Structure 1
Amino acid sequence: MTRPDISFAVNKLCQYMHARTDVHWKAIKWLLRYLASAISYGLFVTHNPSCHIQYYTNSDWGDCNDDPRSINGDAIYLGCNLVSWDAKKQPTVARLYIGSEYKSLENGMAEVFWIQSLLTELDLSPSVPAILWCDNIGAIYFTSNHIFHARTKHIELDYHTIRKKVGSGQLQAHCH
């Protein structure tokens, strides 16, 4: 739980847990050797009064030879502390790279709003909107530009919820 540096590797290896080969076994041994050499690595939480939330995301576009579905990777910071991270496959195959990145932003929005609701219950409401960081400028444009809608009919309608949140000022989306 405190080692986001290995979360993708563990996720990938778990996919072959019931049908592993020598290649997978070598990868497991490599991962164990890495852990032994990086024993002092991990998450460190520091005191920070900021409740500013930032969400960083990246997505491949079907780069895996085993499965055409895209893989999302994301990290959520509260102030300067990493509080949530994830790496998982998208449930559907994205037709376009931009669709993969946009879906990743949509997943992040849901996680960000869950964290914001938790902070609100603890009377620690953030005073500024959360920021979503994505490396795809097209996906960022989709969050606020309704003109592209005709070209994105293949993206499920519930993915466009993020547009409403950006339009209302509840979120900000930026390219990094």
Structure 2
Amino acid sequence: MGFVQSVCDYSLFVLSKSDVFVVLLVYVDDIVITGNDKSATENVKNSLRENFLIKDLGLLRYFLGIEVLYSDGNICLSQRKYCLELLNEFGYLGCKPVTTPIEQSFLVTNKCKNDQKILENVNGFQRLIGKLIYLSLTRPDISYDVQFLSQFMHSPCQSHLDIALRLLRYLKLSPGKGISFKKSSSMVLIGFVDSDWAKCLKTRRSVTGYGIFLGETLISWKSKKQNVVSRSTAEAEYRAMCSATCEIMWILNVLSELKVVCSLPVKLYCDSKSAISISQNPVFHERTKHFELDLHFLREKIAAGIVEPEKISTDKQVADVFTKGLNAAQHQALCEDLCLDNMFAT
């Protein structure tokens, strides 16, 4: 049919001929199709009907458990139904909600508190965390907590279950909240990256957190423990910048296949002046020689004009929500910066 498979995402197919542009996204037997020419999309659907038994559900409303809402030219991806079913399954539909997913003073440790034993019902904990992982597809505000709880899938204690149940109480506050895509002429790609040094008290590994925006919309985010121990806050921040740069490279490739032109360099906002200095200084110092591979990668992209690190104040660092627990005011402010919206609110 003339479609070309994306090299960045094998489930994405693109048809581009003269002024006609059609995009096809396939997941098993579920298909999303869009384009700039209505007759071209109809021709694609007719071609599919000739070979397969398909059902046209019209305008996209529901896809893989994600509800698509439209309002004033904006699109919101929400998992309200999925979230309510989750709360109902674990008996938390009538619980008292909390304003933050995790306590600000929480200390990360792999040890069970007060010599607690491993939970007898491990399968129940695993099922809960698995559902929370899928819910985080449209709820970046719970990414940090889900990342932490995922480390104890095989040996959870009561303290870990308490954190997971608190997360359910947080979801009860606004189950309809989701990512909002705002219509904008701006196609500027920017990134925010942060790291919490030696967050885990047992392994002393740091947590990487980043959020990538296209215009005003958050399109990619991650909260993940780093693979190696960083010897300083600058090194931890630097490794986080490298992870964010890899994601930016992938996003730029996907956007180029979708014929979206982004201006370069991409601004990468970091609140560590030391990490930015290391990334821009071509001289290897004693303190940086042990993470030479990451140094070469990031400096290469900076020299090529693909990314440009820039200092940002800590109070404006959006990526903080992916690396640590915050108080209610900070958490709410960052959720607004992440374009999280609840279209079901009256």
Q: Choose the corresponding residue for 1:154, options 278, 290, 296.
A: 290
5+ residue gaps in structure 1?
Answer: none
The answer for the alignment partner of 1:43 in structure 2 is 179
The answer for the alignment partner of 2:139 in structure 1 is 3
Question: CA shift at 1:159, angstroms?
Answer: 3.3
- Please give the secondary structure, in 2, of the residue aligned with 1:110: helix
The answer for the alignment partner of 2:229 in structure 1 is 93
Aligned partners of 2:191 and 2:266 also within 8 Å: yes
The higher radius of gyration belongs to 2
- Please give the secondary structure, in 1, of the residue aligned with 2:181: coil
Instruction: Read off the aligned partner of 1:16 and give its amino acid letter.
Output: F
Greater percentage in helix: 1
5+ residue gaps in structure 2?
Answer: 1-136, 313-346
Question: CA shift at 1:63, angstroms?
Answer: 2.2
Instruction: Read off the aligned partner of 1:173 and give its amino acid letter.
Output: P
Alignment partners' CA distance in 2, 1:158 and 1:6: 28
Percent identity between the two aligned chains: 36
Change (3 A) 1:38 1:157: same
Instruction: Read off the aligned partner of 1:150 and give its amino acid letter.
Output: H
2:267 matched to 1:131? yes
Instruction: Read off the aligned partner of 2:285 and give its amino acid letter.
Output: A
The answer for the alignment partner of 1:81 in structure 2 is 217
The answer for the alignment partner of 1:141 in structure 2 is 277
The answer for the alignment partner of 1:116 in structure 2 is 252
Alignment partners' CA distance in 2, 1:168 and 1:86: 25
Aligned partners of 2:189 and 2:266 also within 8 Å: yes
Alignment partners' CA distance in 2, 1:39 and 1:136: 35
Instruction: Read off the aligned partner of 2:213 and give its amino acid letter.
Output: Y
Question: CA shift at 1:10, angstroms?
Answer: 1.0
2:157 matched to 1:21? yes
- Please give the secondary structure, in 1, of the residue aligned with 2:200: coil
Question: CA shift at 1:136, angstroms?
Answer: 0.3
Q: Choose the corresponding residue for 1:104, options 236, 240, 246.
A: 240
Alignment partners' CA distance in 2, 1:57 and 1:136: 10
Question: CA shift at 1:84, angstroms?
Answer: 0.4
TM-score (norm 1): 0.93
Instruction: Read off the aligned partner of 2:296 and give its amino acid letter.
Output: H
2:208 matched to 1:72? yes
TM-score (norm 2): 0.49
Alignment partners' CA distance in 1, 2:186 and 2:249: 17
Change (3 A) 1:35 1:122: same
Higher RCO (C-alpha 8 Å, min separation 6):
1
Question: CA shift at 1:41, angstroms?
Answer: 2.3
Spell out, residue by residue over 1:78-109, the C-alpha distance to the aligned partner (whole angstroms, 9 max, x if none). Answer: 11000000000111111121111111111111
- Please give the secondary structure, in 2, of the residue aligned with 1:146: coil
Aligned partners of 2:193 and 2:244 also within 8 Å: yes
The answer for the alignment partner of 1:169 in structure 2 is 305
Alignment partners' CA distance in 2, 1:17 and 1:170: 38
Aligned partners of 2:212 and 2:220 also within 8 Å: yes
> What RMSD in Å do the two structures reach over aligned CA positions?
1.3
Question: CA shift at 1:158, angstroms?
Answer: 3.9
Aligned partners of 2:149 and 2:160 also within 8 Å: yes
